[in-house]
Amino acid sequence: MNNQKNVLFITLDQMRADCLKGALEGHVDLPNMRALMRDAVAFQNHYTVTAPCGPARTSLLTGQYSMNHRSVRNGTPMRHDTPNIATEMRKAGYLPMLFGYTDTSGDPRIHHPKDPAVQSYEMPMAGFHEMVEMRMEMSHPWRGHLVRKGYQFDGYESIYKPVSEDGGPGRLCDPAFFRAEDSDTAFLTDRFLETMPGYETESWFAHLTYIRPHWPPIAPEPYNRMYDPDTLPLPTRVGSAEEAAALHPFMGPAQKKDLPSKPNLGFPGYEVNHKSTQEARAVYLGLLTEVDHHIGRVIKYLKSSGQYETTLVIVTSDHGEMLGDHFAWGKQSVFDKAYHIPLIVRVPGLEHRAGALVDAPTESIDLVPTVLEWVGQEVPNSVDGSSLSPLLEGETPEIWRKYTFSEYDFYDVETPSPWHNALGFGATESCLSILRDGRYSLVEFGCDLPTILFDHESRGEFENVAEDADYAGEVLRLTRAMLRHRMAHMDQTLAMDQITNKGPIRELRHKPD
């Protein structure tokens, strides 16, 4: 009997949930993820608890809300002694292999200022064994691969310049200068598939993290023009950016935070209009289809090597993407598309649950306890999430969350944020919390900004009804629920320990069955 218990934890960057089920479902070809859904359990009401990339991945891999880990921006240090999935899997005897990145900022208290660990926010999280360095802004092995293949480029930023077919400046939907077989997505998958056969005789844990479909919207052929911009749904929004900004003082600065032209390394500036918006959406979907193709290669390897029936497979994203909805881009927002993410989990031995859909509210912090429980490792008291095991088995516990909860800090230490420039709020007050109960979404701010309440059975995210007297009771109910949620989930790293005259004792927050 094979006693192996492998874990394959796949994370995409910036994938919206509605690409698998929802508004964009019928407009993007994702055969491999959809095939996995038919063979697994998919979670329909799954949300990241924070954004952007660094904070989202810190929460994903520590199981903590950002109010507890406080690595709240790309570049905000993560405390060096915070337990995470890698440190705990080591206790279970696993080598936590990292193929890709965790976007972790090192703790400057334990590193010299010249140490590379504190020269970039894209460093690997403590406990991970970096198998291949593959990052958004500093992927040296991929760069070397391109050089060996004969590609010529001036610097890393030029890798993401599109190639015009008529010799003029590159435009949206023009292809990348590298072939699809040499893309960042292909390179990372190739390295994974070259490495894993050496681990087939032992239990393994691999965190495979794809950069795509994260910006820049540059794709190799054929993915650059796989989808016709003219046939795609338009963004969900009102008639003008000015009208969208009038919804709330937060919205105007949010429109300026992540324009598609801003995060493109080396991409020439362009005007954000109807044409460019639809083209950016089309390339985004093309990049997503490219990732799906390579996920298919990974699943095929598991099956052909006989490891599919011994491997817990997880496919998710760190956060979502606005894609022009409400005239916003990126993920630094209050709207659902920035936080609603896919989650597919296949557990060996639960074949009778193949194709099941779970509607119970779940959060990105639930994956750490799920994985640790599956391999038989104690879950640290610092973990705020709850194991998904009952839901995977088709049971909803009597005590399960009724809400999803997310946070976002919108101050920037290095460069003043659009909100700071427009509204003047400082670091400690520039934060917000979102509570969702299915019908309503409540947004509360740490600064002096009005409350937001969306009623999804009315006009949803197109109308803030917080000041409507008819909703006063709901605002009070949800505000109390948010306060209680925060109180119940304050950091428990040491709060359930007690020093006694017989030595330290500890009550377990996550009690084994």
Please give the structure tokens belonging to residue 409: 């800090």
Q: 326 pLDDT band (50/70/90 cuts)?
A: very high
Residue-wise pLDDT tens digits, 104-117 = 999 999 999 999 99
Residue-wise pLDDT tens digits, 305-314 = 999 999 999 9
The mean pLDDT of the chain is 95
Give residue for tokens 């491999």: 32
SS3 104: strand
Mean pLDDT of 434-442: 98
Q: Is 330 left (phi over 0), alpha (psi -120 to 50) or beta?
A: left
Q: Dihedral of CA 55/58/63/64: which sign?
A: negative
What's the rounded Cα separation, in Å, for the pair 434 and 457? 18
Give residue for tokens 């795509």: 212
pLDDT at site 485: 98
pLDDT at site 1: 45
pLDDT at site 160: 84
Give residue for tokens 């010799």: 167
pLDDT at site 513: 73
Residue-wise pLDDT tens digits, 60-106 = 999 999 999 999 999 999 999 999 999 999 999 999 999 999 999 99
Instruction: Give percent of the chain with pLDDT exceeding 70.
Output: 97
H or E segment and range at residue 358 = strand 356-358
SS3 content of the chain, % helix, strand, coil (to 5): 35, 15, 50
Residue-wise pLDDT tens digits, 454-511 = 999 999 999 999 999 999 999 999 999 999 999 999 999 999 999 999 999 999 999 8
pLDDT at site 269: 63
Q: 268 pLDDT band (50/70/90 cuts)?
A: low
Least confident interval from 255-264, 296-305, 322-331: 255-264
Report whether pLDDT(337) > 50: yes
Say which CATH superfamily domain 6-409 falls into: Alkaline Phosphatase, subunit A (3.40.720.10)
pLDDT at site 109: 96
Q: Which of the two residues, 511 and 340, has the higher pLDDT score?
A: 340
Report the Cα–Cα distance between both ends of the chain, in Å, rounded. 25
Q: So where are the chain's domains?
A: 6-409
Mean pLDDT of 171-177: 91
Residue 190, judged by CB atoms within 10 A of its CB (0-12, 13-18, 19+), counts as middle
What's the rounded Cα separation, in Å, for the pair 478 and 185? 42
H or E segment and range at residue 452 = strand 452-455
pLDDT at site 169: 79
pLDDT at site 408: 98
pLDDT at site 265: 53
Per-residue three-class SS string for 52-76: CHHHHHHHHHHCCCHHHHCCCCCCC
Q: Which amino acid, residue 492?
A: Q
Mean pLDDT of 293-307: 98
Please give the structure tokens belonging to residue 439: 């019908």
Q: Which residues are catalytic?
A: 53
pLDDT at site 165: 80
Please give the structure tokens belonging to residue 436: 């969702």
pLDDT at site 34: 98
Cβ atoms of 342 and 315 within 8 Å: the answer is yes
